Amino acid sequence: MARRTILFASNIDDPAPWKALFARERPDIEFRIWPDMGDPQDITHALIWRIPNGVLALLKNLKAIFSLGAGIDQIIVDPEFPKDIPLFRLVDAGLREQMTEYALYGVLHWHRRMGDYARQQGAAEWRMHPAVHPSQRLVGVMGLGVFGTDIARKLASMGFRVSGWSRTRKIIHGVDSFVGEKEFRTFLGQSEILINVLPLTSDTRGILSSELFAHLPGGGALVHLGRGGHLVDSDLVAALDEGQLDWAMLDVFPNEPLPRDSPLWAHPKAFVTPHVAAQPVSDAAERLMLENFNKFDRGEEPTGRVDLRVGY
């Protein structure tokens, strides 16, 4: 069997534990770390989060590309991305549970008016607000893949009235399913709390815009943990200022890190987190990646294959 060589490239992941894992479990594999990739013709597999545009196209013997996270838009944005090479994304490794925790926190924070109580604490003001039962709260989940489905199920089990919007019809207990453009406005109209976990595609880029916000029930909330390219941040600021949205919890942005002069940092109705809704748990991510690599090596189908026609 021809020798296999992995190229590892990430601006956020420490390569040391990955290299140690492959050295221990697959000593037959050579492990190289960008930018020290040596002869590009040696590279047969790529484990990457980010890599400069054009580099993948230089790897003429590349057999497979594995994303080190759930997202792949930072990879396929490369105009020279080799579309004939299989691309796999990290499907779980602790990501699903974290995404669900983040979404539930956002929903409960607004549902239980914790922001109001925090402001009252600052003013030493003792005042109760009327309780709202979850069955009276409309929650919409945009995107019903692995993450969105788990979020929707958990919210439904807590008694919230949950709707989901996706490309194809889904059957999820306790969740009303909406599909496509024709049903989108109806879905938005019953999304007092809107959760975005869509993939980023040409159809969903910029979807969180003034046009969308205008079709939401006034004075609701947004929990955005999809992809940065979904958000038109100036439109969001306007929606918050005008009261179309009462509150937004935001984890991803069009430009990251979020520029220091962004009005979202200091906006009283915005809760900003630095792209931490779901971070691969180191050991679980490494093990899952090794398992996927071994499956591909044996001619089996790894989990998380990306369909480039739809973008996820």
275 is catalytic: yes
Query: Which H helix or E strand runs over 176?
Result: strand 175-179
The sign of the torsion formed by the CA atoms of 250, 278, 204, 64 equals positive
Q: Could you give the strand order of the β-sheet that contains 193-196, starting from the edge strand earlier in sequence?
A: 175-179, 161-166, 138-142, 193-196, 220-224, 245-250, 270-272
**Which of the following is catalytic: 109, 275, 287, 305?**
275
Nearest to 196 by CA among 219, 175, 222, 160: 222
Residue with tokens 């040696």: 42
- Report residue 123 as tokens: 């003013």
Number of other residues whose CB lies within 10 A of the CB of residue 256:
11
3-state secondary structure of 210: helix
The dihedral through the CA atoms of 284, 285, 288, 289 has a sign that is negative
Which residues face 235 on adjacent strands?
A: none
Give Cβ neighbours of residue 118 (< 8 Å, ≥ 6 apart): none
Which entry of 45, 96, 137, 227 is annotated as an active-site residue? 227
Rounded distance between C-alpha atoms, residue 191 and residue 153, angstroms: 16
Render 67-130 in DSSP notation, one character per residue: ESSS--HHHHTSTT--TTS-EE----TTHHHHHHHHHHHHHHHHHTTHHHHHHHHHTT------
Residue numbers annotated as active site:
227, 275
